[in-house]
Amino acid sequence: MKDQLMNIETEALIRIENAKNSKDLEEIRIQIFGKKGELTLLLRNMGNVSQEDRPLIGKIANEVREKIQDSLEAKKEIIHREQLEQSLKNESIDVTIPGQFIELGHRHPLMQVKEELENLFLSMGYDVVEGPEIDTVENNFDALNAPEDHPSRDMSDTFYISENILLRTQTSPVQIRIMKSQKPPIRIVSAGRTFRFDDVDDTHSPMFHQMECLVVDKGVTLANLKDSIDKFVKTLFGEDMKTRFRPHNFPFTEPSAEVDVSCLKCMGKGCSACSYTGWSMELLGCGMVHPNVLRNCGIDPEIYSGYAFGMGVDRVTMVKYGISDIRLLFDNDVRFLKQF
């Protein structure tokens, strides 16, 4: 029995030594210690061992079991470490290889300024609304009190789709749509593309962007309009900015004015950019909503009054960034657009 035990031990240790992986080790363990394992079966025959030999055989059997178990554990540890090293070698990352650079773009400067303006008006309590770029002659001219013979109605100034449908020449038809569908108080701002039959030059493009504000409520006065524009200009360009109102004529407002702001380059001192006037010309158009416009939209001008002002988003963008040619905004030259 002693020899058998020693044989099991010797063979087991050799097999463990030659094991390649943890699966081999598990097989060896079952072969020796399993229910039908070599050692298990052998020890079942302890009953055949004589009474006097039994303690010695028992002691040897325990030693053999411990030796085999220790050897299994040790080999397991070695295999585990080898596997780890192997996988580290296979999966190693070369941190010196240059990374793949993904170039992220950004919003077009026009859209940046449009969003900045919208957020500014949102913070001043206005709702941002949108309207279609194709609209009716009624919404674009008639309801806005444009006289039948107003030059802007001419085919040479406006893109007509049919007799009654056109590409909007201003964002004002959105105001008409809102006033026709909502009851005052109304406090909205609307921005988007507008279209006019203009030849392309430094400052003109047949497609450009406008933003307009409209407030209709009881007791709205010219003082409210001046205050709103002043606050808006100072928030957008800085506290030092001054505004100047020059009387003007728009069909949809009465009285109407054009608004100049201090020249951003010289802040009003006078420089070549502002022809030494100190003013950046015609940033905004504004006025009190004409009673006819309110009436056209079913709002009683005896009860309600309102003001409106609008600006070219392209123009604000050009003033803000010192861009001298509007065409640069639409050329989509990445070298130019990257700068903003």
Residues interacting with Zn ion, by CB under 5 A? 263, 265-266, 271, 273-274
CB of 268 to Zn ion, least distance (A): 7
**Contact status, residue 39 vs residue 64, Cβ threshold 8 Å:** yes
Using CB positions, name the residue nearest to Zn ion: 263
How many CA atoms, within 13 angstroms, populate the side-chain half-sphere of residue 218?
A: 1
Query: Which is nearer to Zn ion, 124 or 271 (by Cβ)?
Result: 271
Query: Which is nearer to Zn ion, 186 or 274 (by Cβ)?
Result: 274
What's the Rg (C-alpha) of the chain?
43
Query: Which is nearer to Zn ion, 207 or 273 (by Cβ)?
Result: 273
Burial class of residue 124 (count of CB atoms within 10 Å of its CB; 0-12, 13-18, 19+): middle
**Contact status, residue 209 vs residue 312, Cβ threshold 8 Å:** yes
Query: Which is nearer to Zn ion, 60 or 281 (by Cβ)?
Result: 281
Query: Which is nearer to Zn ion, 196 or 265 (by Cβ)?
Result: 265
At residue 200, the 3 state secondary structure works out as coil
Q: Report d(CA 87, CA 279) in Å as an integer.
A: 72
Query: Which is nearer to Zn ion, 34 or 238 (by Cβ)?
Result: 238
Buried b / exposed e over 218-239, threshold 16 CB at 10 Å, is eebeeebbbebbbebbeebbee
CB of 239 to Zn ion, least distance (A): 18
271 token code pair:
């420089």
CB of 120 to Zn ion, least distance (A): 24
CB of 279 to Zn ion, least distance (A): 8
CB of 322 to Zn ion, least distance (A): 11
Packing angle of the helix pair 54-90, 22-33 (nearest 10 deg): 170
CB of 284 to Zn ion, least distance (A): 18
Query: Which is nearer to Zn ion, 263 or 286 (by Cβ)?
Result: 263
DSSP 202-257: SS--SEEEEEEEEEEETT--HHHHHHHHHHHHHHHH-TT--EEEEEE--TTEEEEE
CB of 266 to Zn ion, least distance (A): 3
